[in-house]
Amino acid sequence: MTHLDGAVVLVLGADGGLGSRISTRLADAGATVVTAGRADGELKLDIRAKQAAERIVSATLAAHGRLDGLVIAAGVVAFGPASEVTDATIDELFQTNTAAPIRFARASFPALAESAAAGREPFLLTLSGIVAEQPVAGIAAYSASKAGLAAYVVAAAREYRRSGIRLIDARPGHTGTLLSTHPIAGEAPSLAGALDPDAVAERIVRAIADGEKDLPSSAFVPA
């Protein structure tokens, strides 16, 4: 169990469809939520910047004195044939979806370890999505960027738990947010059967509170 009441939680991508909903539910559970986003939030950031992780974590510690949780809900998507993906698209996908979360996991480790040493139950949650389990034609590079993140979490979780830090990767199916309508390349095909973003956010926060260690696609049931 993780007691969210009084916990200090940093949410990256808090201006997005899922990040905003997760932030609201964490706050409703009593957490002090620090929001960071490209367009909105207490802290503005370009998650791809190499110093962003240290800067945002330091700002959180300066304001609140501790960090008990980190939710990485920031990400980008691109559509199109695998044979036509550009270098610029590859770079942005992997810098945003893979490299940046790894940097934030690294930057937050000392503060999360300190939280554990103080008797709290710190966590770090990522959102790789169902494409990490089932890569999809038409979004091959995007699938690869998210699968890389999921693989990192599996391995890093074994290390972080030695310091009392729980890592969780959430892999919901296609969710009804605006992410697919703002791709960095290509155009989204017609997507049916979207999950309710409110239900997905609720499920994620429940998993955090209940001490779950993994959220595969099967954990998200369509409404």
Domain containing residue 55: CATH number: 3.40.50.720
Confirm whether 76 is domain-assigned: yes
| 41 domain-assigned | yes
Structural domain contains residue 116:
yes
What is the tens place of the pLDDT at every residue in 91-124? 999 999 999 999 999 999 999 999 999 999 999 9
pLDDT in tens, 19-50: 999 999 999 999 999 999 887 677 788 889 98
Tell the residue number behind the tokens 């539910």, with chain if given: 25
In 3D space, the residue among 43, 80, 47 whose CA is nearest the CA of residue 60 turns out to be 43
Confirm whether 78 is domain-assigned.
yes
For residues 199 and 57, give the distance between their C-alpha atoms in angstroms, rounded to a whole number.
28
Give the range of the structural domain holding residue 127, as residue numbers without chain letter: 1-8+20-83+95-139+187-213
pTM across the whole model: 0.95
In-domain check, residue 44? yes
Cα–Cα distances in angstroms (integers) from residue 23 to residues 36, 153, 172, in the given order: 10, 21, 17
The answer to the question of residue 117 being in a domain is yes
Task: Let me know if residue 134 belongs to a domain.
Answer: yes
Residue 158 lies in a domain: no
Give the closest residue to 161 by CA, choosing from 213, 216, 100, 205.
Answer: 213
- Tell me the C-alpha distance between 73 and 26, whole Å: 13
The string of pLDDT tens digits covering residues 167-201 is 999 999 999 998 888 999 999 887 778 999 999 99
**Domains of the chain: total:** 1
